[in-house]
Every structure is written in C-alpha cells, then in structure tokens.
Structure 1
Amino acid sequence: MIQLDRTKVVPQPLDRTDRHLILGAGFVGLGMAQALQAAGIPYDQVDASDQIGGNWYHGVYQTAHIISSRKITQFTHFPMPSHYPDFPSASQMRDYLNAFADHFKLRDSIELNCPVTEVRPIEQNHWQVTFATGEQRIYKGILLCNGHHWDKRFPQFQGEFNGEIIHSKDYKHPDQLRGKRVLVIGGGNSACDIAAEAARVGAKSVLSLREPVWFLPKTFGGTPISDLIRWWMPEWLQRLLAYSIVRLTFGTHESYGLTKPTYRIFEKHPTLNNEVPYYIQHGRIQPKPAVRELKGDAVEFMDGSCETFDLIVCATGFHVSYPFLPPALQRVEGAIVKCYGSCFLDDYKGIYYIGWGQARGGVGSLISAYGSFFARCLQLQDDINVPLGLVLKEMGQQFPKTHISDPQAAFRQLKLAHLGFRWLTYKAHQVDRRHPDFQNVPL
C-alpha cells in the first residue's frame, strides 16, 4: 500500500523588505505613491476595491460635488482641466484621479481587489502583511492610506422605526428620496446635501441637528470661499473674514428659526451650503433638534414634536478605523490618531498613519506639499534605527488635540519643516545613539 504524505506545505511569506506598502489607492494613497515614486523610494500599492479613486469611486452619491474649490483641491503639480467648474462633480473627480494615475504611470504598482486582513510587526523591524487570499508578504514599512469615509457611525436610538434607516454612505441617487418623507440626521456637508435633495424630490424633508452649525456659502462675490484665504492669514483673521461673510450672506440663525452655535467657526469642520438656508425659508426643509425616540412610523424630537417618515438617513460620520491592526497598534481616540507629526509612532518603526485628519479644504494641495516632506522622512528613517516618532517626541512635539486642521497653518509648518530638516536629521542621529538596541515588539 502506498502511504500518502499529508503534511501541509505552508508557503513562505514573500520577501518585499526592500520596499514599503501603501494601503489604499484613493486621493491620499495616490498622492503618496507619486511622492515616493518621485523620490525613488520603492513601494507596492494595494486597494480592496476594483478601481482606484477611493471614496470618489465607491463612496459618494451621484450628485456630489466637492466643497472646497478646484484650485486648492487639485494636486499642485497636476492641475485639473481648465474646463472643470469651480466645484467639480463626483464623476469629474474620478476622471481626474484616473488621469493623475495615468500621467505619473502609477498603475503598474497598484494591485486592485486586494484586501488586507492583518498587518503586524515581526523581528528585524519588518512588517508582515496578510491578504484575504491567504498570501503573506514582508515589508520594510506600511503607509496606512485606507481613508476615513468607510466605517459608518450610526446614532443609538431609543424605540423602533417601521421605515427604512440608512447611512449617508448608502445614499447614491435622488430616486432613493423621491416622493418620500425624509428625515436627515446630521449637520455636516453630506447631511445638508441630502436634505436639500429631499427638499427638491421628496414629499417632506426634515433636518435634525443635535447642535446648531455654522452655514458658510460656497462662494462670495463670485469667488469660492476657500480661494479667499491666503497662506499668510492667521486663523483669527480667517475666522473674522468668515464671520463677516456669514453675516452678509446668511444673516443670523434666529432668522431661520435656528439656535446660534456655541462654538467658534472652524473649531469644527465647516458646513459649506447655500441651499439649506434657502429651502428653510421656502418651507421645504424643517429644522428640528436631536431625536428623542423612534415610535413606529413617527419620530419624536427633543422639543416634544413628532413627525412621520418613510426614510431616515443618518449622516452621522465615520469611525477612524484600522481593523487589520492588532490592539497594540489601535491608537485611535475618538477621531484622533495619537501619533507624532500627524503619522509617526514613538514605539514602532515603519508604520505611518496618513490622511486620518480632516483639513478644512485642499486635500490635493496639502498632499502635494506633505508628500515630498514625508519622502525625506522615509529616507531619514532608513538611516536610523529608532522610530521618527520617538525623535519628534524627544524634540518636544505633542499628540494632536483635534482632527481638524487649518490648511494654511499646515503649509507654513511644512515650509519650516523643510527649512529645518538638517536640524531634524541631527536630532534623529542623537536620539538613535541613545537607543542603539531599539526593536519593534513582534505581535
């Protein structure tokens, strides 16, 4: 009798320790890929979707437009086509990102339909990546560019609702609202867009605001609001300009039956929307306070009023989430990732949390400015054994206090960082000498 060898042969992980892995091929991931390419830094790039573009491919509704202008949203070194409007549509943004990838020949390094299930540190400061197929690879480092518009956050309701409840990410087309009594929960840009769409095509549109928001117009005097801000403006001056524009265009909250916000403009992500105030004054949108309880086909609000609905849209945001990381690397508190320099850890080398924050506008121009600086940081990281986060920590840098950032302040900080890079290099080698035996803790 022939005896079969049933020993299972486990394939060895593929050695890619000469390069980094970029997780995600959306706006941020593509921008970082081009920055590494320009610096001659080897990398691979993967995305779980079947096309590039990230949220602009799979996450936005058909009628979406950007809220910051074309001028500051575009990559500085790759302008959008001149025929694009000030606020390009979702389809135009998808076309633009595809053109960016083609222009810089990024596609050859991108693997699509390639979800990652686990990333963990192993010996020699390397990182083992496991894919949904079971394949494993080992990399020098990992750039986490998986975005923050996919892990849906829902409110906790009391009671039951007989109709349909969806998240704003599940909203794709106005036909989902047509003829329906719609409640939109939230005060951000998506919430206001959907409430305005429901005002046009729905039977009823109610906007539930847990707290009042500042409504800024998208343009003033024919110019996008974001284009009025200059690099030299401190935040107090930007705020004064915004208050003046709000008073001249929107007026007072009391004029719309709304309560004035208790926080200052720019302390939270701004809501740029001209339509909600318009439809409130035309009776097509009813503003309501937070939801108290669901009662079958009705909803009771905190002011004691009740309304009946067919559909509830929860435009209540997203969790910043890295489900493929072990608990020791889950550094998220609320909407903030506890890291130094916006992406570096002080206790692990080779992992970078990129794009988790929310600038008030201008993602393309920010990535254009940040990408070249980050590439220099990666080259410096190759020369030292300790994590760059530890260097920044010992230089006195603190964890971020908010996920909202002023893009103009970021531009100024990046200019100073480039000018002071020799000093950073000097301090990095000093810290490295004090920690000669540093190693990532394998998990």
Structure 2
Amino acid sequence: MGCCKEEEPKWLWVNGPIIVGAGPSGLAVSACLKENGVPSLILERSDCIASLWQQKTYDRLKLHLPKQFCQLPLFDFPENFPKYPTKHQFISYLESYAKHFSITPKFKQSVKVAEFDGVCGFWRVQTQDFQYLSKWLIVATGENAEAVIPEIPGIDKFKGRLMHTSVYKSGTEFINQRVLVIGCGNSGMEVSLDLCRHNAIPHMVVRNSVHILPREMLGISTFSIAMALLKWMPLRIVDKLLLLVANLTLGSTDKLGLRRPKTGPLELKNATGKTPVLDVGALSQIKTGKIQIMPGVKEITKIGAKFLDGKEGEFDSIILATGYKSNVPSWFKGSDFFTEQGMPKTPFPNGWKGENGLYTVGFTRRGILGTANDAKNIARDISEQWREFKGFCKNFCTTKNLSDNQGICF
C-alpha cells in the first residue's frame, strides 16, 4: 500500500522534521530548528527526556569536562553550577532547556522502522502506535543508545550478581563484596572507585591498552588545555605534550598494568572514538592496591572467572563496564548511509547530512561540542528548504482535511 493513500490507518502527517531521540542531541537540534522558525516533532521511546542520563547512570557521576564544553546551543548552564556539574544538575539543565524552548517530545513512541519512500518522496517512521510521515528525518539516537553485552564464554553460568553499568547505581549494594569490573574506561574506573569507597573489593579487568590523563593540569582542565593548544599546534605535538605532563603528574601507568597505546590520546579518539580516561581518583586506589588490576577474562565460571594468565578468582558480583553502541541498524532501513555499527559512513565534520532529507546529530565522537555543531548545521540547512516547503504543508493539511487523529499540522 502506498504511503500517501488516505485509507492507510493511524498515520500522522508532520509538517516539520521528525527527530528520533529526546536526548541532548534531539533537544539541541529541535531548539536550533525553532530558532530558525522551523517546527519539529521528537519521537522518544522512553517516558522522559535524556533517558540514558535519568535511568542508566550511576549516582556519583559528574561531567568529566568543564560545563562550558557541555552546554547545548543557545542556552548556557546556570552561573551557580559548579565547574563539573553532577548528574542531577545536568538533568535539571536539560529539563530547563526543553522548557525554555517549549520542546514537548511525543513519549513512549519506539521507532520500529524508518524508511524513505521514493514513490511519494517522504520518510515513513513507524512506531507501535502510528506511522508518521515527513519530508525530513533527523536521527538523534546517538552513539550510546544500547548497552554492549560482551560474549564471554560461561557468562550464563555465573551464580552471583551480574549487571551492566547502565543498571549500577551505587556501591552501597556491594559492601564487603569481591566485585569483578570488566572494562577500564571512564565508567569502569569510576565504578571501581565508587566500590572502593563503599568498602567493596573491586578487581578491574584491563584487556587492552588505555590512556589515562589527569582531569586537570596545574588547576586547568586537561580538555581546555588540549583545545587551546590545538589552535596553534599539530595534533600529534599536542598529544606528546599531554603525555609528557601526564607522566610527570601521574607517573608511569605501565608499571600498574595500564599500558598506554602507541597512538596518542587525541589522535586515537579521532580515529576510533575511544576516549581517554580522565582520572578522578581511581589511579591512587590502584597504586595502593585497593583496586586490583586483572588481565583479560578467558571464561566466566559459576563462582567467578578464569583469566588469560591462567589464574582464577572467586567473585560475589560481576559488573560489565563494556560501554554502549548505536541502535540505528535495528530500525533504520533502505539506506547505506550508516555502517553496520550504526555510525555515519561519512566522517566528521560532514556526517550530519545524507540524501532525501536525512540528517544525523550526535554521532561525531566529539561529545556535546560535536552535537552543537551538527545541530546548527542541520537547522541552517533545513530552514532554507522550509521556506519553500511550508506552503505545500499548509495546502496538504487543508486539502486532506486532516483531523487531530489523522495528522499533525504545526
């Protein structure tokens, strides 16, 4: 059945772009569109904005970067917020952002399929309730939509508590327990530190090499220093300077079982998206032995794990600090714009725009700074088309005599 036939049940016409995802990326692009006079509709699978932040983050989480690098376009953080806002402060900022721009997502709309219909020239976005139609589709689900659960032999045999960090809230649940934390990124480090501070006994698995940098150098954010230096020096020179200062302030991490990659931290981040760890206290606990470093896991057993060095250990709980991934391949169909991993094939800074009115925001591997850049580009591009298209929208809604349960006309 053609997508433009009136008899098709439960379909809603959206005059402006459809935005999939009400996280920071979706909010940012919606605000930028509104600033340019373009309406939009956000579809969100959960019942709140920024569901990853609200429902899948641990209690002690703070922004790793200073607030000026984490604010969305057109709306700054409150001046009284600390340099590194807490999780709850960031969520309150996002809620204020949505209220300021009168952004009201349509919640509990999980996108099953989004596909461009070449016959009528519109995007069809199917949820469990409706089929939405629009000239533009903005994918704002981002790089971290789904938890990554690794395939480790024997993982189903473990009799203790097994969870991903998306479920972890606080170390209060693990007092006096031996806990195996699999993963040594920022989440793995912070969860291990939190466990340590609640009198648990964390063992952190470090399978690959990892860059660890101090969060601040001489009282200044490491990220701020890096951004300033990049204006004047090549990236590889900046990497060498960062590592020099890191070795002076933190010492050799190799001696602790934390081997550094041969590629510098910024170059590695740009090439693979792998973020360096910004230390907030875990390293000192590793040095004292309160957080023990373990090699890669060979197999999970009923009572613990076997490691690649031949040793075995018993653990009460296992926490998977194995990160997140894009979920785009599960619902976005009919286009080769994305890789099998759900990332735009076109690299930054040009991955924000596809064909037939397709856009993406939040896939730059450059955090909220990248999101802000995408949002501004998308709003500018769509606003130029919108001036020509809004007349058609008004005429379409009028001639089709759409009622509230048939179409959405802004």
- Structure 1 partner of 2:311: 305
Amino acid at match of 2:162: I
2:135 is paired with a residue whose SS is: strand
Q: 1:154 to 1:111 in 2, by over 3 A?
A: same
C-alpha deviation, 1:298, in angstroms: 2.4
- Structure 1 partner of 2:351: 342
CA distance in 2, matches of 1:350, 1:114: 21
Q: 1:124 to 1:171 in 2, by over 3 A?
A: same
2:187 is paired with a residue whose SS is: helix
C-alpha deviation, 1:27, in angstroms: 0.6
Q: Is the 8 A contact 2:171 2:200 kept in 1?
A: no
C-alpha deviation, 1:220, in angstroms: 1.5
| Equivalent of residue 339 in structure 2, options 328, 332, 342 | 332
Deviates more, 1:324-333 or 1:196-205: 324-333
- Structure 2 partner of 1:367: 371
C-alpha deviation, 1:191, in angstroms: 0.8
Q: Is the 8 A contact 1:320 1:332 kept in 2?
A: no
2:27 is paired with a residue whose SS is: helix
CA distance in 1, matches of 2:18, 2:174: 41
Amino acid at match of 2:290: R
Amino acid at match of 2:123: W
- TM-score normalised by structure 1 residue count: 0.77
Count of aligned residue pairs for this structure pair: 368
Amino acid at match of 2:47: D
Kindly indicate whether residue 219 of structure 2 is the aligned counterpart of residue 213 of structure 1.
no
1:183 is paired with a residue whose SS is: strand
Query: What does 1:277-426 correspond to in 2, within 5 Å?
Result: 277-322=283-328, 323-326=330-333, 328-329=335-336, 331-334=338-341, 336-339=343-346, 341-345=350-354, 348-359=355-366, 361=367, 363=368, 365-379=369-383
Q: Is the 8 A contact 2:363 2:371 kept in 1?
A: no
Q: Where do 5+ consecutive residues of structure 2 fail to align? A: 1-6, 269-273, 390-410
CA distance in 2, matches of 1:63, 1:221: 24
CA distance in 2, matches of 1:330, 1:374: 16
| Equivalent of residue 175 in structure 1, options 152, 172, 175 | 172
Kindly indicate whether residue 133 of structure 2 is the aligned counterpart of residue 138 of structure 1.
yes
Q: Is the 8 A contact 2:28 2:73 kept in 1?
A: no
Q: 1:119 to 1:356 in 2, by over 3 A?
A: same
1:169 is paired with a residue whose SS is: coil
Kindly indicate whether residue 106 of structure 2 is the aligned counterpart of residue 111 of structure 1.
yes
Q: Is the 8 A contact 1:300 1:307 kept in 2?
A: yes
Work out which structure has the larger RCO, using CA pairs closer than 8 Å and 6 or more positions apart in sequence: 2
- Write the deviation string for residues 209-253 of structure 1: whole angstroms up to 9, x where unpaired: 111211111111222211222261432233123112211211112
CA distance in 2, matches of 1:369, 1:149: 18
Q: Is the 8 A contact 1:164 1:312 kept in 2?
A: yes
Kindly indicate whether residue 66 of structure 2 is the aligned counterpart of residue 69 of structure 1.
yes
CA distance in 1, matches of 2:208, 2:388: 48
1:30 is paired with a residue whose SS is: helix
Amino acid at match of 1:309: F
| Equivalent of residue 15 in structure 1, options 1, 9, 13 | 13
Q: Is the 8 A contact 2:236 2:264 kept in 1?
A: no
C-alpha deviation, 1:44, in angstroms: 1.2
C-alpha deviation, 1:275, in angstroms: 1.7
- Structure 1 partner of 2:35: 38
- RMSD, aligned α-carbons: 2.3
Amino acid at match of 1:81: P
Question: Runs of at least 4 residues of structure 1 off by over 6 A?
Answer: 382-385
Q: 1:292 to 1:105 in 2, by over 3 A?
A: same
Amino acid at match of 2:308: M
Amino acid at match of 1:113: K
- Structure 2 partner of 1:236: 236
Q: 1:45 to 1:305 in 2, by over 3 A?
A: same
CA distance in 2, matches of 1:261, 1:368: 29
Q: Is the 8 A contact 2:362 2:374 kept in 1?
A: no
C-alpha deviation, 1:67, in angstroms: 0.9
C-alpha deviation, 1:381, in angstroms: 5.6
Q: Percent identity?
A: 25
- TM-score normalised by structure 2 residue count: 0.83
Q: Is the 8 A contact 1:182 1:202 kept in 2?
A: no
CA distance in 1, matches of 2:73, 2:215: 21
CA distance in 1, matches of 2:254, 2:11: 63
Amino acid at match of 2:291: I
| Equivalent of residue 192 in structure 2, options 187, 195, 210 | 195
CA distance in 1, matches of 2:147, 2:187: 13
1:111 is paired with a residue whose SS is: coil
CA distance in 2, matches of 1:351, 1:343: 9
Amino acid at match of 1:342: G
C-alpha deviation, 1:327, in angstroms: 5.8
